[in-house]
Amino acid sequence: MRKITKESAKAFVNFKPYKKDNTEVVIDHLNDPLGKDAKFYLHGYCIVLSGGNGVYRNIDLCGWHTPTTRERINGVLDAWGYDFRVAQRKGEQVLVRKEITKSFIVHNLAKDIDPKSVGETPKKFFDEQTLKLSDDSFDPEFAKRVFESRCFKNGTDLNAITDF
């Protein structure tokens, strides 16, 4: 992750203004009766919004499916503590969550190793869970609930889910 992404994401989640190159974090105290609004801009487009002191959150790629847009959004997701990221798979924007496979846990338990204490885990021990983004905008809290649900189905279109 680039330095500008780390700095801007940290400023955003802490409701601090930030401006460097093509990235800006703006804090608005006036519009929200619940508290502060934080807006994260890339090239003048608001790609992440946190309102009411973080009570509600919205992410929007604004039609820019670029590595830089995904990196900035992923920086904020990481700073918020989410375990999924925005990625591109076969030309489509998706949310990706990596999950340790059962074979990894069995493999390491047989050696009496705590799976969480292992540093670099080989790719073969990960399952990739995805949610398709047919729309550029999504609520990360809703995505988190979908990923954690027993009804989760890999490859589901997040924006097509109306009730969860």
- Tell me, yes or no, whether 101 lies in a domain: no
| pLDDT value at residue 67 | 96
Measure the N-to-C terminal CA separation of the chain; round to a whole number of Å: 33
In a domain, 155, yes or no: no
Q: What residue has token string 């609930």?
A: 145
Does residue 41 belong to any structural domain of this protein?
Answer: yes
**CA dist 108 → 24, 122, 123, 124, 128 (Å):** 44, 12, 15, 14, 20
In a domain, 48, yes or no: yes
The reply to whether 28 falls in a domain is: yes
Q: Is residue 39 included in any domain, yes or no?
A: yes
pLDDT at res. 124: 58
- Look at residue 102 in the predicted model and tell me its pLDDT: 55
The one-digit pLDDT tens for each residue of the chain (164 residues) are: 899 999 999 999 999 999 999 999 999 876 656 678 899 999 999 999 998 877 889 999 999 999 999 999 999 999 999 999 999 999 999 999 987 655 555 555 555 555 555 555 555 556 788 999 999 999 999 999 999 888 888 899 998 887 66
Spatial strand order of the sheet with 45-51 comes to: 18-20, 23-28, 37-42, 45-51, 56-60, 137-138
Convert the pLDDT of each residue in 13-45 to its tens digit. 999 999 999 999 999 876 656 678 899 999 999
Residue 20 lies in a domain: yes
pLDDT in the model for residue 144: 93
Predicted confidence at residue 108, as pLDDT, reads 55
Distance CA 25, CA 4 (A): 12
- Structural domain of 34: 1-81
User: Is 158 among the domain residues?
Assistant: no
Distances (CA, A) of 138 to 80, 142, 150: 15, 8, 20
Domain count, the chain: 1
